[in-house]
Amino acid sequence: MKIGDFLVSSGMAFCFAVVLAFVLRRVFLKYGFLAVNGVPCAGGVVLTVAFLSAAFVLRVPAAQPAVFWKGLFIPAAGIALFGFVDDLKNFSALKKLVFEIVFVAAWCFLAARTGIIMLKGTLDFLAAGIWMLWMINALNLLDVMDGLAGVSAGLACLGFAALSLRPAQPAAALLCAMLAASLAGFLLFNWPPARMYMGNSGSHYIGFLLGALALLVAYAPEGTGTGLASPLLVVGFFVFDTVYLVGMRLRRGIHPFHKSPDHLGLRLLGLGFSKQRVLLVCLGLCFLWGACAFLFRHAGSGLVGFSAVACAVSASLAVGKKAAHFS
């Protein structure tokens, strides 16, 4: 696959997202539909339609029928629809979790496996299910500030796309690049001050699709066992943010599923950081974790990767420790 193919497909996804966001923002505001403080929650519709439209125009369903019909696109659209209903009804955390478990279990039974040789049968099924549930909820938890979930997910998409290029896995790389371009188009309207929110439909959709795309990539083709850590490191910022959030809530005696201003991004805002500066800090952390993924994938010695991860964790904890003084 040539560079031109990536540019055309990504450009198409980006343009679809921009046009849809522009139109839907006006429509939602005109009819007062799903608007919070005058800002419509149309991001899920924009991202879903933009990505799927680009895929249809590029004839991805014909080239990858199994991936399209049951492995990736249709299930992602289904969970986006659930997220849209959730935006309307505001389901409880328990109801959302039950639906996610049933949905992910059905999807894993039909299509998904991790592909890790050491995991067989039930273990492979459980690993894929836990991965998907965590990705969906990690994106949902991260969507607490203008642009934060979109920026983090977009950089993770680029990380997975880059990892797909060696050895050549053009289908996975193309899909990751298209998703990143869709997010870039949406971010033109979601960058602070936001003119459009992602909503639960968007965070559920992106979390599911990002997790599913990650399962398409081979991480240890050269027999390097440390490469299996690459997907966790690509989304390492998500891991840190989720663990940090749950830890801070438990420390304060709050239920992990109850809302609180303990997100790293919100604490940085409380310290006086501007939203733009918070996004740049988080973007830097995402990039650092992504660099660790490449070191683990290609380094001849696990020590190099371990050192890089230690640096990333230290940098994350340094920011988190300063933020922890805010309450």
Kindly state the average pLDDT of the residues 145-168.
Answer: 84
pLDDT above 90 covers a percentage of the chain that reads 14
Task: Give 166's pLDDT tier (boundaries 50, 70, 90).
Answer: low
203-to-16, 105, 287, 311 alpha-carbon distances in Å: 19, 19, 20, 29
Per-residue pLDDT tens for 215-250? Answer: 877 665 555 555 566 788 888 888 888 887 888 788
Report the chain's mean pLDDT, rounded to a whole number: 79
Q: What is the chain's alpha carbon radius of gyration, rounded to the nearest angstrom?
A: 19
Per-residue pLDDT tens for 43-64? Answer: 889 998 898 888 888 776 666 6
Per-residue pLDDT tens for 187-216? Answer: 999 998 889 999 888 999 999 988 888 887
Task: Give 183's pLDDT tier (boundaries 50, 70, 90).
Answer: very high
pTM of the model: 0.85
Cα atoms in the Cβ-side hemisphere of radius 13 Å centred on 301: 4
The residue extents of the domains of the chain are 1-218, 221-327
Of 67-71, 129-133, 298-302, least confident by mean pLDDT is: 298-302
pLDDT at 63: 62
Task: Give 119's pLDDT tier (boundaries 50, 70, 90).
Answer: low
Residue type for position 3: I
Kindly state the average pLDDT of the residues 161-180.
Answer: 79
Most confident of 142-156, 259-273, 300-314: 142-156
Token pair for residue 91? 């389901």
pLDDT above 70 covers a percentage of the chain that reads 77
Token pair for residue 127? 């690993």
Give the span between the Cα atoms of 327 and 323, in whole angstroms: 9
Locate tokens 């696990």: which residue?
302
Kindly state the average pLDDT of the residues 256-275.
Answer: 76
pLDDT at 187: 94
Position 110 pLDDT exceeds 70: yes
Task: Give 141's pLDDT tier (boundaries 50, 70, 90).
Answer: confident
Position 112 pLDDT exceeds 70: no
